[in-house]
Amino acid sequence: MDPPGPGDEGEATQPQPPEWRFAQVFGERAAGEDVQEVDIISAIEFDKSGDRLATGDKGGRVVLFERTDARDNASRRELEGQDVPVTRHPEFRYKTEFQSHEPEFDYLKSLEIEEKINKIKWCQTANNALSLLSTNDKTIKYWKVQEKKVKRIAVMNLDSSQSVGSSTTAIASTSSSKAPLPNGGCSDKFDCLNNDLSFPPGGYPSLRLPVVTSLEANPVARCRRVFAHAHDYHVNSISNNSDGETFISADDLRINLWNMEINSQSFNIVDVKPTNMEDLTEVITCAEFHPSHCNTLAYSSSKGSIRLIDLRQSALCDNHSKIFEEHEAPGSRSFFTEIIASISDIKFSRNGRYILSRDYMTLKLWDLNMNSGPVSTFQVHEHLRPKLCDLYENDSIFDKFECCLSGDGLRVATGSYGNIFRVFGCTPGSMEATTLEASRNPMRGWNPSHPIWEQSVTVGHHRPNVITGGENQGVDANGNSFDFSTKLLHLAWHPTENSIACAAANSLYMYYA
């Protein structure tokens, strides 16, 4: 299900705002504990089933988690015998981790290439193997993670009751020049192998052959393909196609189309690089494939526009099929207008009818069938507008916040400063706007007396829904000044349940409703 469009019925029956609860935390640090730069999480992604979660960090590592709660383990008889349904929240456990990227150096450009993981995308599984793509600034890697059984040799000839030291001595002694008798016997004219070993008279009647036993299976990650040397600028996005065979990678000026099986070549499908770089006014900030139409993809720009392109139109998609942008009000332009209009992230809704975009100040929900303006606008950082000069000085204005939609399309979420994130209801007329803190007490950072909601004026032929999560100027609900060094940039919504995973520095927090 996706959010109903403008004019749809059902505004009178609004869903109740969910009560968010803390579920789990991985990598929680103690009070006053310093965080290593390499441990800071830089990417989060659920797979399509929601049973697996992957995170990447600035140290180039990818960590995988798997779901462990018994949602399907209960028998039908047990479920029928329960008078009240048991509400379970998703529980995950650590599965494995591997080093995806290493720091490199481009000698031609005298440029250091960080190992930081920019994006992770799950691929289709085959033969019980997990597949995913990970990328840093320049190189994309295709990984397969498979369960491998560890084998060892058991049932040796040596008596297991003997000490390790005795066994080692015995093994070393067998390589001496003294030839033992058959079946492990020992002749009187030779010294025995070891005084600690006792042999029955006449030796052992037979030898026991070693037996190979299998222990528990352990996940092993293998890099199957490396997609490199296709981007002159930093890769900001990768996205899988619904056909399961191709994916795209985007940098500031180009979008390339790859085949999963071929890493020697890619096709350039979007190129916004001007002939003269002095004429450059716009760069690509994010790109994503449509979830079900393999010929459609969208990409956002630093000017706040979203372009929809159709791969069937031409090999090089210079011309877009649709463009989504909101024109600025007359007289509102300032030095910061283009900076805060730059879109940092876009996400398609599950059925592909809507696009959610995040710029520095707002979240916007767009209907693909209506490009005259956003369906809804959610104010996230409006209270920071008086502080844009300070944010520009400390480079915080260039922070790239991600966004996500719930699987049912009823809610959207994004992060902010002070390790908080906001959840908004996006059905017509919804007043839901919840502020949560990435901690064991998520409601600590939200004072319900502060949020203010207001409807905007009619724009064109539709009425967008504008929700403002109001705060005191520059302070949180507890009266503390915002710490712009603590920010929640990365978060992901479970594809089928009300569960959110978010990253606060090196800690992964999970919440459910």
Rounded to 10 degrees, the C-alpha dihedral 370/372/373/374 comes to: 0
The string of pLDDT tens digits covering residues 142-179 is: 999 998 887 777 766 555 454 444 444 443 334 444 45
Mean pLDDT of 470-474: 43
Return the minimum-mean-pLDDT range out of 386-390, 473-477, 501-505: 473-477
Q: What is the pLDDT, as a whole number, of residue 290?
A: 97
392 bridge partner residues: none
Q: What is the DSSP string of 227-263?
A: E-S--SS---EEEE-TTSSEEEEE-SSEEEEEETTEE
Would you kindly state where each structural domain of the chain is located, as residue ranges? 23-72+87-151+216-445+481-512
Q: 484: closest CA among 417, 398, 397, 420? A: 417
Residue found by looking up tokens 């803190």 in the block:
437
Whether the CB-CB separation of 146 and 219 falls below 8 Å is answered with: yes
Q: What distances in angstroms separate CA 297 from CA 182, 305, 311, 368, 481, one per listed residue?
A: 75, 14, 8, 12, 40
Residue found by looking up tokens 């930081």 in the block:
116
The string of pLDDT tens digits covering residues 96-110 is: 999 999 999 988 888
The string of pLDDT tens digits covering residues 11-54 is: 446 667 889 999 999 998 887 788 899 999 999 999 999 999 99
DSSP state of 39: G
Q: What is the pLDDT, as a whole number, of residue 212?
A: 80
Query: What's the N-to-C CA distance of the chain in angstroms?
Result: 18
Q: What are phi and psi of 197, to 5 degrees?
A: -95, 135
The string of pLDDT tens digits covering residues 245-270 is: 999 999 999 999 999 999 999 999 99
Whether the CB-CB separation of 424 and 467 falls below 8 Å is answered with: yes
**Which amino acid is present at 440?**
R
Q: 249: closest CA among 323, 283, 299? A: 299
Strands 111-113 and 104-106: antiparallel
Q: What is the pLDDT, as a whole number, of residue 83?
A: 53
Rounded to 10 degrees, the C-alpha dihedral 499/505/506/512 comes to: -10
Beta strands, E only, 155-243 = 211-227, 237-240
Return the minimum-mean-pLDDT range out of 20-34, 444-458, 490-504: 444-458
Beta strands, E only, 136-209 = 140-154
Mean pLDDT of 211-222: 83
State both tokens at 192.
Answer: 């025995």
CA separation for the pair 411, 425 (Å, rounded): 4
- Top-level CATH class of 23-72+87-151+216-445+481-512? mainly beta
- Decide: helix, strand or coil at residue 156: coil
CA separation for the pair 371, 513 (Å, rounded): 33
More confident residue, 82 or 358: 358
Q: What is the DSSP string of 267-302?
A: EEEEE---SSGGG----EEEEEE-SS-TTEEEEEET
511 bridge partner residues: 22, 500
Mean pLDDT of 401-428: 94
Q: What is the pLDDT, as a whole number, of residue 500?
A: 97
Mean pLDDT of 347-374: 94
The string of pLDDT tens digits covering residues 107-152 is: 888 889 999 999 999 999 888 899 999 999 999 999 999 988 877 7
Mean pLDDT of 320-349: 90
Q: What is the pLDDT, as a whole number, of residue 317?
A: 86
Mean pLDDT of 436-456: 61
State both tokens at 358.
Answer: 């995040």
The tally of CA atoms less than 13 A away on the side-chain side of residue 227 is 29
State both tokens at 225.
Answer: 């393909």
Q: 288: closest CA among 268, 267, 307? A: 307
More confident residue, 110 or 242: 242
Q: What is the pLDDT, as a whole number, of residue 82?
A: 54
**Region class of 196: left (phi > 0), else alpha (psi between -120 and 50), else beta:** alpha
Q: Which helix (H) or strand (E) holds 388?
A: helix 388-393
CA separation for the pair 406, 347 (Å, rounded): 11
pLDDT-derived band at 59 (thresholds 50, 70, 90) equals very high
Strands lying side by side in the sheet with 411-415: 403-405, 411-415, 420-425, 433-437
